[in-house]
Chains A and B, each alone.
Chain A
Amino acid sequence: MWFTNLIDTVIPSLSRNTAESSMTMLQAGGFPLGWEVCRGSSWGAVANTTGLTTINSGTAPNTKGSWTVLANASATTTDVCWMGVQSYQFGMNAGTYSNSWAFDIGIGTSGSQQVVVNNLINSGSTGSQCIIRGEFPISIPANTSIWARSQSGTGNVTSGLVGIHLYDGAFTEMEGAAGVDSIGWNGSLSQSTQLTPGTATNTLGSYVQLTASTTRDYMGIFIISECFMNNGTGAGQQFGYQYLVDVAIGASGAEQVILSKFWFIRNGGWMGPSTSGFVPIQIPAGTRIAARSQCSSVAAGFKEFGIVAYGVYQ
């Protein structure tokens, strides 16, 4: 961190044992460092429909569709260190476990897009529209085109909408991350990881592994949940089921909770709030990540739900 260098190289006369005085030196104006964005802009929102941009999935099941531009390079005149994503899905009929919808965010020129955010899930249905919104640090230079594409379990989904917010930052704002990995998403089946709450109401179920070993170091994490309207057992809409979710790291049987009791509520065919929000917990590469949950209902076929974790990397 640059402020450590400040102590070492610029103020040699300052006693390093005086934590209070060193903190006073670092807090210009008394405010903490590290969170200062500005210059927010919105892309993908369509003013004349008060909506977002449609991102059609591939026509074939479990296949990413074509990229759709959200922001052209000529229009993105600012450097980006923070991104917000918002999405609306209203057409995942049946919403079975095998029918999730997920979208990527990519950057670059047409035909050479690079994925920077992988597989954000959003699986609302005609009767229960689903909304996700989340923010995370990311670095994108000015004058870069930004795109989205999607896939679904059934293919040919045309009901998913996406928009993004972009922010520039101050000296003290971190540079941003290189990208976001999905953890616990099965792209070949378009499936999130299913969690089964405890057998009894309000009791924790067993941990379910999201990944046996993270492929990179992550500087932060967030989760998105989705409910499955119909697990093949009957009518799908249930209202008011409440969930508490733990996300943990560590070997099986030795899990350490890092995100504790994140609350979701099931409202028909969607979960709200569906996104946990970005939490800057560092997770080293090679880490096992698992999740468990409890539910206020025991109705099998309806209490189950899906989760994907997202690791932000530099």
Chain B
Amino acid sequence: MTWTLSQSGSQTTGTLGTEYTLATDTNNGTFVIAADLSAMNNGSSGTVGDLVELRVYTKELSSGTGPIQAWKGTYQNAQINGIKISPPIASDQSLQGTIKQVSGSVGRSYPWKFLRI
């Protein structure tokens, strides 16, 4: 079995506090969402460092409400491990990933992808 690159792209966080949807994937499979946050940095004197939130949403039933948050990871300042990989999530309805930069330097670009198996 091999991984399928189900979705990919690069998201620029142009506005602090805005939650950007990376993609919504309706394929049936088990996914991991990976985002490259290696561009994050500490603040300089008098400024606040980068703070980014990654979220994963799913939908339970075809008739149900959604998307509903399943995982959230928050990262602040320069990262030791630049690649953030979500826990694997089995999805038969809908899977959505988002990114929000809460503070720091506006306009950073974060590559991302959804891998599916």
The proximity string for B residues 23-64 relative to A, scoring 1 for CB distances below 8 Å and 0 otherwise, is: 000000010100000000000000000010010000000000
Inter-subunit contact B80/A31 (CB<8 Å): yes
B51 touches which of A38, A79, A172 (Cβ 8 Å): A38
Report the stretch among A8-16, A144-152, A156-164 that lies at the interface: A8-16
The proximity string for B residues 68-109 relative to A, scoring 1 for CB distances below 8 Å and 0 otherwise, is: 000111111100110111111010000000000000000000
Inter-subunit contact B83/A28 (CB<8 Å): yes
Inter-subunit contact A171/B80 (CB<8 Å): no
A29 touches which of B74, B77, B80, B90 (Cβ 8 Å): B80
Is B117 positioned at the interface, with any CB of A under 8 Å from its CB? yes
Interface of A is mostly: mixed
Inter-subunit contact A171/B76 (CB<8 Å): no
Known: A38-B74, A170-B75. A10 touches B54 (CB 8 A): no
Is A168 positioned at the interface, with any CB of B under 8 Å from its CB? yes
A167 to chain B, nearest CB (A): 9
Inter-subunit contact A171/B73 (CB<8 Å): yes
Inter-subunit contact A170/B73 (CB<8 Å): yes
Among residues of B, the one whose C-beta sits closest to the C-beta of A33 is B87
Inter-subunit contact A79/B72 (CB<8 Å): yes
Q: Measured between alpha carbons, how far is A161 from B1 in the docked complex, in Å?
A: 59
Inter-subunit contact B81/A39 (CB<8 Å): no
A:14-55 near B, CB below 8 Å: 28-29, 31, 38-39
B48 to chain A, nearest CB (A): 11
Is A95 positioned at the interface, with any CB of B under 8 Å from its CB? no
B113 to chain A, nearest CB (A): 15
Inter-subunit contact B73/A31 (CB<8 Å): no
What is the size, in residues, of chain A's interface with B at 8 Å between Cβ atoms? Answer: 21
Interface centre among B32, B77, B84, B88 (most CB of A within 10 A): B88
Among residues of A, the one whose C-beta sits closest to the C-beta of B87 is A2
Inter-subunit contact A12/B1 (CB<8 Å): yes
Q: Measured between alpha carbons, how far is A2 from B80 in the docked complex, in Å?
A: 22
Inter-subunit contact A170/B74 (CB<8 Å): yes
The proximity string for A residues 161-181 relative to B, scoring 1 for CB distances below 8 Å and 0 otherwise, is: 000000011111100000000
B30 touches which of A10, A29, A31 (Cβ 8 Å): A10
Known: A9-B30, A10-B117, A171-B54. A38 touches B76 (CB 8 A): yes
Q: Measured between alpha carbons, how far is A122 from B8 in the docked complex, in Å?
A: 53
B34 to chain A, nearest CB (A): 10
Known: A12-B1, A171-B54. A2 touches B88 (CB 8 A): yes
B residues less than 8 Å from A3 (CB atoms): 87
A residues less than 8 Å from B74 (CB atoms): 38-39, 78-79, 168-170
B85 touches which of A28, A78, A168 (Cβ 8 Å): A28
Is A112 positioned at the interface, with any CB of B under 8 Å from its CB? no
Among residues of A, the one whose C-beta sits closest to the C-beta of B83 is A28
B97 to chain A, nearest CB (A): 12
Chain A: residues with CB nearer than 8 A to chain B?
2-3, 5-6, 9-10, 12-13, 28-29, 31, 38-39, 78-79, 168-173
A-B contact pairs, 13 of them (CB 8 A): A3-B87, A5-B88, A9-B30, A10-B30, A10-B88, A12-B1, A38-B76, A39-B76, A170-B73, A170-B74, A171-B72, A171-B86, A171-B87
Taking A38-B75, A169-B74 as given, write out 6 further A-B residue pairs in contact, using a Cβ cutoff of 8 Å, ordered by the A residue number.
Answer: A9-B30, A29-B80, A29-B83, A78-B74, A170-B73, A171-B71
4 tightest A-B CB contacts, nearest first? A171-B73, A29-B81, A2-B87, A38-B76
